[in-house]
Chains A and B, each alone.
Chain A
């Protein structure tokens, strides 16, 4: 039977919590004894998704909440990052490399590209005016409990 575990977290959508999100994911993922590269991949992808919620989802609002749920099922790690922000009108366009809706804020538009490069799968669900959920998975090679 596969080993399973999960945690559910929520935190204020402020930049100070971006590093917190990375640390929480890394700590949870460490159960699978990832390599340094696998750990960095997940931390970076999580950082991108959380930053998207803060910068784009809540567009500078100080009272938004980011919900981050992490799951382990056997050797696969899954993280869902959700917000109740503005949502994405055109997901396909938003995921184009270098596209950003905030060029004045010096956003590189690489967030989704990084997520798709570093994780095995990235699924985005969003409704304008309601919120966005980014779900990412990564199989930790030859690791299982």
Chain B
């Protein structure tokens, strides 16, 4: 699993590639929180377009980041084009609280 971070307008973009399971979700949480806490005035976009496998551990991590960002007054969104990943996201009902987009530009624009 690879993580990279970038900035776009007033958002931190976290791009994840590879597999997200319980093991990797721990690292994602630590790395994401470090940046969220350092830049509390930024929004957060989780880019899952290059994720090849995901189980429900990822849902826990996404919801945890949602709660943290919300505590700072920010918002979070997810970018996803992989049907396998989408299935897990839809099953969780996460779309009720976190918008999901198919492209990064729209995700950043609508923050």
- Chain A contact residues, CB within 8 Å of chain B: 15-16, 18-19, 22, 37, 40, 43-44, 47-48, 51, 54-55, 105-108, 110-111, 113-114, 117
Q: Which of B25, B64, B88, B92 contacts A44 (CB 8 A)?
A: B88
Q: Once the chains bind, are A22 and B92 in contact (CB under 8 Å)? A: no
Q: Once the chains bind, are A114 and B22 in contact (CB under 8 Å)? A: no
Closest Cβ–Cβ distance, residue A83 to chain B (whole Å) = 15
Q: Once the chains bind, are B91 and A55 in contact (CB under 8 Å)? A: no
Interface residues of B in 48-81 (CB under 8 A from A): 53-57, 59-61, 63-64
Q: Once the chains bind, are B61 and A106 in contact (CB under 8 Å)? A: yes
B contact residues, total (Cβ < 8 Å): 21
Main SS at interface, chain A: helix
Closest Cβ–Cβ distance, residue A117 to chain B (whole Å) = 6
Q: Which of A37, A51, A106, A113 contacts B21 (CB 8 A)?
A: A51
Q: Once the chains bind, are B23 and A47 in contact (CB under 8 Å)? A: no
Closest Cβ–Cβ distance, residue A47 to chain B (whole Å) = 4
Q: Mark B24-62, 1 if CB is under 8 A from A, else 0.
A: 011001000000000000000000000001111101110
Q: Among the interface residues B54, B57, B63, which one has the most CB atoms of the partner chain A within 10 A?
A: B57
Q: Once the chains bind, are A40 and B61 in contact (CB under 8 Å)? A: no
Q: Which of B23, B54, B56 contacts A111 (CB 8 A)?
A: B56
